[in-house]
Amino acid sequence: MCVNVDDCGTGLILFQCVTTGATCCGAACYDVMKFNVTGQNTLTTPNKPGMCATGEGGQVTLAACPKPGATIPDEMVCTTQSLFIVAIPCLLDPMHN
């Protein structure tokens, strides 16, 4: 299973990994399944520049990232530096420094 941006929207889901064919972002585009933990401990995807994963109410979605220098809201902080599969549960139950 992979974390996936649901239909190129703002919801994040677990979905069967796709490595051939096309996704909602186009032919041979797999950006909907690529995520990075940033230096600010937020989770981002190249499919939605400027958007960060946020965990609230038991759901993980994408929302606008805080502007540089702004305080990162608790629901966007994830201190794990491991693979994004570990980061998703972290967003649902954030671990803070």
Note the pLDDT of residue 80: 52
Residue-wise pLDDT for 2-37, tens only, equals 788 888 888 888 777 777 887 888 887 888 888 887
Q: Residue 88: which pLDDT band, with cuts at 50, 70 and 90?
A: low
Query: Mean pLDDT for the chain?
Result: 75
Say if CB 13 and CB 7 are below 8 A apart: no
Using CB atoms within 10 A of its CB, is residue 1 exposed (0-12), middle (13-18) or buried (19+)? exposed
This model's pTM is above 0.75 = no
Cβ partners under 8 Å of residue 70, min gap 6: none
What is the C-alpha radius of gyration for the chain, rounded to an integer number of angstroms? 13
Antiparallel, parallel or unpaired: β 26-27 and 22-23: antiparallel
Q: Which residue has the tokens 């909602």?
A: 24
